[in-house]
Amino acid sequence: MTITEPLVLTERIRATPDQVFDFLVDPDKLLRWMGTDAKIDPTPGGEFWLNVTGEDIASGTYLTVDRPNTVSFTWGWEGQSEVPPGSTTVTITLTSEGDETIVELRHDGLPLGPEDEHKGGWTYFLGRLVTAGEGGEPGPVDMGGGDS
Amino acid sequence: MVVSVMDAAAHAVAEPTRREILHLVRDTERTASDIAGHFDVTRPAISQHLGVLREAGLVTVRADGRKRLYRARPEGLTELRRWLDDFWRTSLRNLKVEVERDHPPTDPRSGE
């Protein structure tokens, strides 16, 4: 069952959109808050490949790369039939407000169960993006003992 | 139910946190946040556990407005119990074969 409402999460970061944008498209900076290994070509049509947990690989294709406001890419899990690569779309929008950047993450096309599971994962990783974006060190990815 | 799903169910209940989650949602629908409140582990870990239980057919999730409510799927547990019963029946049969290989039962008609 695919639900019609997208998953939408919002965070605020004390940094400029340009600074936050680097954490989305620079592989070294991306890995400071999300994933254990990345192969990304952040241009429209380019490859998105991210080992998210050390065991689970998300992959897709970049759709929009518009510095400093929008990055979108298709998303799915390699070797998994429920949310296969290319089946869903992630759109991250950055908006400047005062000395902060509002980060909106929108994930379209997820079936009901995976939608709530992705909510847990994205909430965790967006918290790490706030830490990294404000100059902190989120540390290694630790999903807290839930294996797959 | 296909064997791989049964393997997934057996794997799912082999983890203590997931067994506790099954208890929590046996008679009550709960959100992932509510479930996470019962444990020291992080919300993403609970999300992963719920994913493992859901893919194994042991819990179901439904939408109630913006809430996502989980509860145990009794049919999944019944299927798992039946599978485990067969598992032990097979294991006991194997035990009998191995014991009798080392200690052949004496046949009273053989005259030994």
The predicted structure's pLDDT at residue B42: 85
Q: Which amino acid is at B65?
A: G
Which chain A residues contact residue B62 at CB under 8 A? 112
Residue of B nearest to A8 (CA): B66
The predicted structure's pLDDT at residue A148: 46
CB-based contact B47 A119, cutoff 8 Å: yes
- What's the CA dihedral at A40, A43, A46, A49 to 10 degrees? 20
The two three-digit tokens of residue A82, written as one number:
């429920």
The predicted structure's pLDDT at residue B105: 83
CA distance, residue A144 to nearest chain B CA (Å): 5
Mean of per-residue pLDDT scores for chain B: 88
Angle between helices B16-24 and B43-55 (to 10 degrees): 80
CB-based contact A144 B52, cutoff 8 Å: no
Give the single-character DSSP code of B105.
P
As a whole number of angstroms, the distance between CA B29 and CA A138 comes to 34
Q: What is the DSSP string of B5-38?
A: HHHHHHHHHTSHHHHHHHHHTSSS-B-HHHHHTT
Tell me the sheet residues that pair with A17: none
Which residues between 74 and 103 in chain B have a beta carbon less than 8 angstroms from any beta carbon of chain A?
Answer: none
- What's the CA dihedral at A123, A125, A128, A129 to 10 degrees? -100
Selected for mutation to probe chain B from A116, A124, A126, A129 (highest B CB count within 10 Å) is A116
pLDDT at B79 over 90: no
CB A94 within 8 A of CB A18: no
Q: Does A119 touch chain B (CB under 8 A)?
A: yes
CA distance, residue A115 to nearest chain B CA (Å): 9
pLDDT classification of B35: cutoffs 50, 70, 90: very high
CB A76 within 8 A of CB A88: yes
pLDDT tens digit sequence for B9-32:
888 999 999 999 999 999 999 999
CA distance, residue A95 to nearest chain B CA (Å): 25
pLDDT tens digit sequence for B55-72:
999 999 999 998 999 999
**One digit per residue, pLDDT tens: chain A, 148 residues?**
556 689 999 999 999 999 999 999 999 999 999 999 999 999 999 999 999 988 899 999 999 999 999 999 999 999 988 999 999 999 999 999 999 999 999 999 999 999 999 999 999 999 999 999 999 999 888 776 545 4
CA distance, residue A18 to nearest chain B CA (Å): 28
How many other C-beta atoms can be found within 10 angstroms of the C-beta atom of residue B51?
Answer: 23
Residue of A nearest to B57 (CA): A113
Which residues touch A75 (CB under 8 Å, ≥6 apart)? A48, A58, A59, A60, A83, A85, A87, A88, A89, A90, A107
Q: Which backbone phi and psi does B17 adopt, to 5 degrees?
A: -60, -40
CA distance, residue B45 to nearest chain A CA (Å): 4
As a whole number of angstroms, the distance between CA A20 and CA A22 comes to 5
The predicted structure's pLDDT at residue A4: 67
Residue of B nearest to A125 (CA): B44
The predicted structure's pLDDT at residue A61: 98
CB-based contact A120 B54, cutoff 8 Å: no
CB-based contact B42 A143, cutoff 8 Å: yes
Give the single-character DSSP code of B111.
-
pLDDT tens digit sequence for A35-53:
999 999 999 999 999 999 8
Which of A112, A142, A145 lies at the smallest CB-CB distance from B63?
Answer: A112
Which is more confident, B70 or B7?
B70
The predicted structure's pLDDT at residue B81: 86
